[in-house]
Amino acid sequence: MRKYFACLRYNLQKQFASPTAWLVAILTVLLMDRHVAPVRQCALDFGASVSWPGLAAFLLDSSTITLLGGLAILALVIRIPMDDEAQWLVMLRSGRKTWARAQVGMVFAVCGIYLLLLALAALIWIAPCVETTRDWSKGILLFVEDGAYETYDSMLSYDPWIVEAYSPWGAALIGLFLHFLAYCFLGLLMALGNLLFGKRGGILLSAIPLGADVLMAEVYTGTAYYFSPLTLSRITCLDYGDLMGRPPVWYAFGLLLVLCAGTAWAVVRLCMKKETRI
């Protein structure tokens, strides 16, 4: 286990020291600024507080943020399995199986850190008027119930069903965990494609769920959501009692867990059996 964490720590240090990681971080902060600025300005104008988990729930429900976040994850994991000049030594010292598992662990760690960055960036932008109680807060309700999103040109969609069906913490945690699983599957799919077809094949294979999510957001509704992994990460695409034929929350968690477990197993097996160029 110690060798596994040493291998994982080395890979993370290499990854987050790269220019790509810094570029993704900067673009993510700018993305949050564009989406959160209207909410912050409205809250300051009305002297209202804003629920941090409530805002996070609506941010994670945005198809645009889900798509751009998926692209960011692909940019961060495009080199998995890691292929820098020192990997042969890392593999030799840790063992091939431990090294292969660390590649999978790298995907999970990158996805978790990226979502943490999203949440912290949103918190920083609303820091002057943040609220962490169990209520949705006046700042959020101004957009959901009073139509402030039109006045302040907000890019988010404020579905009132979210407020009626969930608490802010419940909606935010469901959205975070589903996005974590969906992004992990996306990253593992990239790694699987890299092993099977090379980096170009990995990009094409991992682009399929992104394209399916865009298609679902623009064209299809209801039953079609059952077959789109990234679409299942947004809570308005799930059933919350409106009898619209959407998949239930347990289905989204179950399917994404199965997809993550299956692709993780396949990546480890291929890393063990296939000759990997390092």
Per-residue pLDDT reduced to its tens digit, 32-47 = 888 888 888 888 888 8
Do the domain assignments include residue 278? no
Contacts 24+ apart (CB under 8 A), 209-213: 209/70, 209/182, 209/185, 210/67, 210/70, 210/71, 210/186, 213/63, 213/66, 213/67, 213/70
Give CA angle at 263 (74, 56), nearest 5°. Answer: 50
Do the domain assignments include residue 70? yes
Task: Specify the pLDDT at position 79.
Answer: 84
Q: How confident is the model at residue 241 (pLDDT cuts 50, 70, 90)?
A: low
Q: In the chain, pLDDT over 90 holds for what percent of residues?
A: 26
Q: Is pLDDT of 278 > 50?
A: no
SS3 146: coil
Residues with Cβ < 8 Å from 74, sequence gap 6 or more? 186, 187, 190, 203, 206
Find the domain containing 77 and state its range: 2-273
pLDDT digits (tens, 9 = 90+) for 78-92: 888 877 666 667 666
The two tokens of residue 120 are 């912290």
Q: How many structural domains comprise the chain?
A: 1
Q: How confident is the model at residue 179 (pLDDT cuts 50, 70, 90)?
A: very high
Do the domain assignments include residue 208? yes
Task: Specify the pLDDT at position 107.
Answer: 92
Do the domain assignments include residue 25? yes
* Number of other residues whose CB lies within 10 A of the CB of residue 90: 20
Q: Is pLDDT of 276 > 60?
A: no
Check whether the bond before 81 is cis (ω within 30° of 0).
yes
pLDDT digits (tens, 9 = 90+) for 92-127: 676 778 888 888 998 999 999 999 988 888 888 888
Do the domain assignments include residue 24? yes
CA distances from 78 to 66, 86, 96, 238 (A): 18, 18, 20, 30
Average pLDDT rounded to a whole number, residues 45-74: 89
Side chain identity, residue 118? L
Q: In the chain, pLDDT over 70 holds for what percent of residues?
A: 92
